[in-house]
Structure 1
Amino acid sequence: MSRLDAVRQTLGRLGHAGRAIADAADRLSCSTLGVVLGHTLAVGALVALPAGAEAADKPIDACFVYSGPVGDGGWTYQHDLGRKSVEAAFAGRVRTRYVENVPESADAERVIRQFAQDGCAIVFTTSFGFMEPTIKVAKQFPNVVFEHATGYKTAKNVGIYQTRFYEGAYLLGILAGSKTKSNTLGYLGSIPIPEVLRNLDAFTLGARSVNPAVKVKVVWVNSWYNPGLERQAAETLAAQGADVLYQNTDSPAAVQVAEAKGLYAFGQDSDMSRYGKRAHLSANTVNWGVYYRHKIQQLLDGQWKPEDTKWGMKEGMIELSPLNAEVPQTLAKTFDEKRKAIIDGKLSVFAGPIRDQSGKVVVPAGGVLPEADLWSLKWLVEGIDTPLPQ
């Protein structure tokens, strides 16, 4: 066999790209082919690999952008538990990185871009305020996959995911409406976006389903995580007569205030019972790991696509922490029956009749709030005393 034939045979074993070079070699002199061969054999192993195969022995990087501190409870803590579950499930195949306490500002864009530049295969941006920076960076890095939490903008390489947190909020409302003695409930609002308004409305609807006399007062702290402001808000609500507190904020301050003042409270995002063993009735918690593992498996299988995912109790994303012993067995039974009804699709939280704060019917009897309206919700239901911020 001639040297040229041997070269052609070697190139042929390199697959489609190698065969193309071999065909081109027919039009080249042996001396020219020798130069080509020197370069080709140096990269031959890479040419022969199918798309993505180079990474077969090298783990991909999954990166997370957090709006708050990881800490030991709350929104960011739950996201970090999800990240850790990815490491455990894909050991040796996926590495994870994160940056915490990222402001929802130009700083977010810098962090997201740095992750993309550093070779992250997928970047999870975990707060509503990261939406615009995520979309902007995604356009600049079309080969990187992005997943944004609680937003509404997608792209070819951007998927979005939200929780049906309102399902758990409705159930906690049932507990609150049953346990209150003052018929006044308090709600610590973070930022008045649809995500938070859904939870507030659902909590109120649940409470009034068992106690129509209930009124809900709201204090807006305009922050996801600010223990000082959250504590002040909880104390203000207690001073206004609220004897059960719920929150859409991230610290355990409200539970701590309730424990000190002999009130009841609920945790949000994670179980906060250790901050108020008597006061803490339950918590509306989120298991992000089920989603993160699902999307990364898609990516590894080459099946990832941008989706608008909304998961709740049925999918195991929303979970309620164990009930306090303060909850009577009859109430616990009702709570569990309603929970199962939501999971089975027999109970819709936003089923009519529903009136807004002005008394106007927004969902008629027999109707259900359409999905599109649910995810863009900007009104408050009857029974909420505090007006919607302008």
Structure 2
Amino acid sequence: MNTKRLWRLASLLTVMAMFVAACGAPAATPTAVPATEAPKPTEAPPTTAPETVGGFQIPATEAGKFNVAMVLIGPHDDGGWSQAHYEGLLEVEKNVPDTHVAYIEFVPEGADSEQVFRSLARKGFDLIIGTSFGYMDPMEVVAGEFPDSMFIHLTGFKTNGTNYGNLFGAMEVIKYIAGMLAGSRAKTDGNPKLGYMATFPIPEELRLGNAIALGMKRTCPECTMDVRWINTWHDPVIEKEGAASLFDAGAQVVFTGADTPAAGDVAQEKGKWGINYDHVGACKVERCLTTPYWTWGPVYSRIAAETKAGTYVPGYEYFDADAGGMGLYGFMEGQTPQPGVEGLPAADVQLVKDTLAAALAGKFTRFDVFKGPIFDNKGNQILADGVSLEQLDLDGFAAFGSPCKVCMYWWADGITAELPTP
């Protein structure tokens, strides 16, 4: 036989053997999994994988979850503004079932933030929260591109009424009460001078500064308040320099509108008093008199739950103290006043407590803080007796195109600084 015929014969024998095996062999039975080898649970893969865009790590979404992303101007553990928001975000994951949360920190305002918001929307995040004033316009642009995602912006004044809303709270109420405390402390120390370290010349900062001054006058009619503009939300070095400048100029108590606990830290060095901002844990030194702070958990949890259910309608949401979103450190339930409260006139401390209780009960609001008669620091009457500002006035500069009537471009009586250029 030649080679080709031998190959054909071998092939035929192989096929016959396979046929016999198939017909005569019993059917195979499945092999049982041993009792000691339980099947390993498999996790649902993420809808998307993390990626880097423009130097920022864009987090992944999770399949089957309601995905919430937060964008922070500073570090999530800054002891101030960003940390308060971050902790509120964690509460969302605890309080809203089947929710996944993620965050990106150190995102500058402007073009970088627009890129980050767009990347998060492309990833499929259902709710995106931007926590700085300068995110307003970039977020508005991206919201128009991604109608299936909800965008919430903090501290601004824009909304499209469909998937882009504005959110903030009436911290002016708590700052007003803190102003009472600061005025009492300065009066008691025999140095009736306060200082306010402001960030940027926007309505929010003038509103809060005016609230402090109005509260200050309740306990210390002779007190005055200077202002320093530091043009940053988060810069520990610049914030310390700003606080030191106010103390060196004679201030007995200094407030901050920025993110870090610099006012209290510098006060500790100078033997004066500082009032920090944003976070419940910001008063870490004895010379921190108090801290007006945010508790974003209840607010964010409600918004996330409503967005998930499809019932949230974005707009201009501006909550008062009775919403559970803010507090005054040392005066809330379970807290002990800071050492600087000791020795203050009992009537002043009681005024602080009574006004705070009324605010938390919804009986004292932002419209009570800004109720006439109110005069500016030039002697002009801003509001007649019994007349209150409207919400547009609290939020607006005419220079920004706001339809406000009175607006917020004025300094209250007792403030010694000139108005900034908006």
The alignment's TM-score, normalised by the length of structure 1, stands at: 0.82
SS of structure 2 residue aligned to 1:340: helix
**Residue 180 (structure 2) aligns with:** 174
Match of 2:357 in 1: 340
1:140 to 123, 138, 145: 145
Read off the aligned partner of 1:351 and give its amino acid letter: K
Do residues 103 (structure 1) and 108 (structure 2) align? Answer: yes
Task: Report the CA distance shift for 1:274/1:373 in structure 2 as closer, same or farther (over 3 A).
Answer: closer
SS at match of 1:110: helix
State whether residues 271 and 282 of structure 1, in contact with CA within 8 Å, keep that contact through their aligned partners in structure 2.
Answer: no
1:112 corresponds to 2:129? no
Greater per-residue helix proportion: 1
Matched, 1:191 2:200: yes
Instruction: Report the 3-state secondary structure (helix = DSSP H, G, I; strand = E; otherwise coil) of the residue aligned with 2:415.
Output: coil
Q: 1:127 and 1:94 mapped to 2: Cα distance?
A: 23
Indicate whether 1:367 and 2:387 are aligned.
yes
Runs of 4+ in 1 over 6 A off after TM superposition: none
Paired position in structure 2 for 1:201: 210
CA contact (8 A) 1:359 1:382 kept: yes
- Structure 2 match to 1:269: 278
Structure 1 unmatched ranges of 5 or more: 1-54
Which residues of structure 2 form unaligned runs of 5+?
Answer: 1-60, 331-336, 397-407
Distance 2:143 2:119 in 1: 12
Q: Find the counterpart in structure 2 of residue 78 from structure 1.
A: 84
Does the CA contact (< 8 Å) of 1:351 and 1:366 recur in 2? Answer: yes
Larger radius of gyration: 2
- 1:296-375 correspondence to structure 2 within 5 Å: 296-322=304-330, 323-328=337-342, 330=346, 331-343=348-360, 344-346=362-364, 348-375=368-395
Is the Cα contact below 8 Å between 2:183 and 2:220 reproduced in 1?
Answer: yes
Is residue 386 from structure 1 mapped to residue 399 from structure 2 by the alignment? no
**What percent of counterpart residues are identical?**
32
Partner AA of 1:178 in structure 2 = S
Q: CA deviation at 1:371?
A: 2.0
> Which residue matches 1:153?
158
SS of equivalent to 2:195: strand
115, 120, 136: which one pairs with 1:131? 136
Which AA in structure 2 matches 1:90?
A: V
1-structure distance, mates of 2:153, 2:70: 10
| CA distance in structure 1 between the partners assigned to 2:62 and 2:202 by the alignment | 42
Q: 1:361 to 1:72 in 2, by over 3 A?
A: same
* Alignment size in residue pairs: 334
Contact 1:185 1:214 in 2 (8 A): yes
Distance 1:290 1:364 in 2: 36
Query: Contact (CA 8 Å) 2:78, 2:260: kept in 1 or not?
Result: no
Distance in structure 2 (CA, Å) of the matches to 1:238 and 1:360: 29
Q: Does residue 290 of structure 2 align to residue 282 of structure 1?
A: yes
